[in-house]
Structure 1
Amino acid sequence: MKVFVTGTAGFIGYHLARRLLEDGHIVTGFDGVTDYYDVALKRARLAGLAQYAGFTAVEGRLEDADLLVRSLQQAEAEIVVHLAAQAGVRYSIEQPQSYISANLVGTANLLEAVRAHKPNHLLAASTSSVYGGNSKIPFSELDAADAPISLYAATKKSNEAMAHSYAHLFDIPTTMLRFFTVYGPWGRPDMALFKFVSAILEGRPIDVYGQGEMRRDFTYIDDLIEAIVRIMPLGPVQGVPVPGDSLSPVAPFRVVNLAGGHPELLMDFVHAIEAALGQTADRRFQPLQAGDPRETAADTALLQQLTGSLPRTPIEIGVAKFVTWYRQYYRV
């Protein structure tokens, strides 16, 4: 199968591309290799993918509409997985324009490219952040998600609306994937796990926000990739729902929560890091930051309905695997 993946120099895109290549698929990766975080880490991910004969890399920004169209046509992709984006809740407060450019303009360009070259299924990354100010726990795909509390979340909710309109207008089977706190080897340096491990190993204190009382539905990267791979052949068909479906009544379009379905206290996550490192952190408790929800928890009933039973890696094992990778990669 031929698959076009945006964001292959990124954390999730790298893991998905590698899994698909290992399964024998042909992958065209599209990535701008921006300097939002360490470019060397992104280059290392791409170097790993380049070892596979079935991988073709295209370096370009989502804002380059012509390059996107040409690349997608040349890839002859049957499946498109759109993972490239400007990520980060807190950074969206500091640099809002980069989110407008990459997440809104870039995704609009991707949708136009998909319109010109219709794949069998478009899958695109969304986020648990779209649930924003919702107080009902766990978050269900059937809940309204109309109260984003960060610009990042607002751009992702906009992406869902944009993709729905294209699914309706041009009959493009589309699935929006709402990711919940994904972590694991090759992760992003701006995420808590990466920052905590780095700080503890260097003898620096860690900032624990929300006084350590936040809960997150942590999702180990391998579990997430398994879910995406199982969903790839399941393009939505308008008028053919499954029980508890979020399928649109007017388009071949659905949203799906991708999560472990088992929220953990942030302090339990910190304890898992300390155990994996064999060191105790110097913790500085801080108030909840602007844009951060106090709790995320996913209703995973629809995910299970679509994919069956999925692996769920305990945080103790997932964190230990990250620490092993970190020590090897940085030689510490």
Structure 2
Amino acid sequence: MTTTLVTGVAGFIGAALAKALLARGERVVGIDNLNNYYDVALKRDRLTDICQGAGNRFRFIELDFADMAKLRSALEGETIDRIAHLGAQAGVRYSIDNPHAYAQSNLVGHVNMLEFARERSVAHMVYASSSSVYGGNEKVPFDVDDRVDHPVSLYAATKKADELMSETYAHLYKLPMTGLRFFTVYGPWGRPDMMMWIFTDRILSGQPIPVFNNGEMYRDFTYIDDIIAGVVASLDCPPADDGSKKPGGSTTAHTIYNIGNNQPEQLMRVIGLLEDACGRKAELDMKPMQPGDVPRTYADITAISRDLGYAPTTSVDAGVPAFVDWFRKYRGI
């Protein structure tokens, strides 16, 4: 039975991935430090949801992977075939005021996971990067071969650093690695610090919603089910160290993919869909662009579609109402 170590397993994408792997009959060892960046109760509810029907094929360990000694100790004797390293300190705006949280989790923590993967000689490590690495790139759509050395937030800088460190480990130790640049993920069990949750919550409660850059924002909104299909496909297909050029420019056992919807949507259109799904108009609080934000994200998914057959199927027209429906049920509204 294949065992996958999933970091950030109580997070939005980590929990969804764990459920998908368990549904395939696999075993999951999940770690998460359950920090209070957002409501810990939501994280615990996700863990409860994962456990439904999992039996003894799911093991959860409350652990901070930035502590290498505790990581080794907790997983001693545990067979790990592959790793999905999704845990990180998330959020662009939060990194402005809390830089050390990002250095600890996204830099020290990432090195620890690379070392653990090397020590255990895992078959493949897939890790979370971010579309934020593209910074203020004006060339669209964003291609994995574009230069990404001008980050506009510390969060983006840490994710680019993770890609560079991963390339080094793939080169030195022939460790198969895949980095996934996620584009604005949303859907059931999403994060309370993200736009879709914030806007839905405020529209339903009659509070104004903050609309940055006066609404001139475009995002490549990607539904969680489509994201998970891409993560699972990536886990199943480790890159070969055959000297060929991979997406992202590597010639080692390391590749980088964009994983998005390939369909940027204007923020105001998505607000309209939320209004329809909530059954009430939003009160708009128009604001200027925030430090660290970018006006547009747009994923070129040619590489992951060609190599792994990735093909997102959920439009915002279907995904937004599905999220609002879940939100109402979760909140008892």
Regarding TM over 0.5, the answer is yes
Unaligned runs of 5+ in 1: none
**Cα displacement (A) at 1:44:** 0.5
Matches of 1:138 and 1:129 in 2, distance apart?
A: 13
1:164-200, Cα deviation, whole Å (9 max, x unpaired): 1111111100000000000001100000010001111
Q: 2:312: which partner in 1?
A: 311
Q: 1:36: which partner in 2?
A: 37
1:113-140, Cα deviation, whole Å (9 max, x unpaired): 1111011110000000001122211110
Q: State whether residues 145 and 249 of structure 2, in contact with CA within 8 Å, keep that contact through their aligned partners in structure 1.
A: no
Matches of 1:203 and 1:67 in 2, distance apart?
A: 45
Q: 2:88: which partner in 1?
A: 85
Q: Does 1:65 align with 2:68?
A: yes
Pairing partner for 1:246 from 210, 224, 248: 248
What is the aligned residue count? Answer: 330
Unaligned runs of 5+ in 2: none
Matches of 1:10 and 1:309 in 2, distance apart?
A: 23
Q: 1:48: which partner in 2?
A: 49
Q: 1:276: which partner in 2?
A: 277
User: Identity, % of aligned pairs?
Assistant: 45
Q: 2:268: which partner in 1?
A: 267
Matches of 1:301 and 1:141 in 2, distance apart?
A: 10
| Larger CA deviation: 315-324 vs 11-20 | 315-324
Q: Name segments (4+ residues, structure 1) moved above 6 Å.
A: none
Pairing partner for 1:203 from 203, 206, 225: 206
Matches of 1:145 and 1:175 in 2, distance apart?
A: 17
1:64-102, Cα deviation, whole Å (9 max, x unpaired): 212222444533121100000000000000111111111
Q: State whether residues 127 and 177 of structure 1, in contact with CA within 8 Å, keep that contact through their aligned partners in structure 2.
A: yes
Matches of 1:129 and 1:245 in 2, distance apart?
A: 18
**Cα displacement (A) at 1:107:** 0.9
1:236-276, Cα deviation, whole Å (9 max, x unpaired): 1123648x733512x21111000000110011111111111
Pairing partner for 2:229 from 226, 238, 257: 226
Matches of 1:175 and 1:6 in 2, distance apart?
A: 15
Q: Secondary structure at the match of 2:70?
A: helix
Matches of 1:305 and 1:4 in 2, distance apart?
A: 27
Q: State whether residues 229 and 310 of structure 2, in contact with CA within 8 Å, keep that contact through their aligned partners in structure 1.
A: no
Q: Does 1:12 align with 2:13?
A: yes
Pairing partner for 2:216 from 190, 213, 224: 213
Q: Does 1:143 align with 2:150?
A: no
Matches of 1:49 and 1:73 in 2, distance apart?
A: 23
1:133-175, Cα deviation, whole Å (9 max, x unpaired): 2221111011111000000000110111111111111110000
Q: 1:157: which partner in 2?
A: 160
Q: State whether residues 99 and 155 of structure 1, in contact with CA within 8 Å, keep that contact through their aligned partners in structure 2.
A: yes
1:15-63, Cα deviation, whole Å (9 max, x unpaired): 0001111111100001000000000000101111223111000111122
When normalised by structure 2's length, the TM-score is: 0.96
| Larger CA deviation: 43-52 vs 189-198 | 43-52
Matches of 2:306 and 2:219 in 1, distance apart?
A: 23
Q: 1:258: which partner in 2?
A: 259
- Give the CA RMSD over aligned residues: 1.3
| Larger CA deviation: 198-207 vs 71-80 | 71-80
Q: State whether residues 174 and 241 of structure 2, in contact with CA within 8 Å, keep that contact through their aligned partners in structure 1.
A: no
Matches of 2:172 and 2:283 in 1, distance apart?
A: 54
Q: Does 1:114 align with 2:117?
A: yes
Matches of 1:119 and 1:309 in 2, distance apart?
A: 24
1:207-264, Cα deviation, whole Å (9 max, x unpaired): 111111111111000000001111112111123648x733512x21111000000110
Matches of 1:311 and 1:261 in 2, distance apart?
A: 8
Matches of 1:151 and 1:107 in 2, distance apart?
A: 15
Residue identity opposite 1:147 in structure 2: H
**Cα displacement (A) at 1:308:** 1.6
Q: How does 1:291-330 map to 2 (within 5 A)?
A: 291-330=292-331
Matches of 1:113 and 1:121 in 2, distance apart?
A: 12
Matches of 2:9 and 2:111 in 1, distance apart?
A: 19
Matches of 1:303 and 1:310 in 2, distance apart?
A: 9
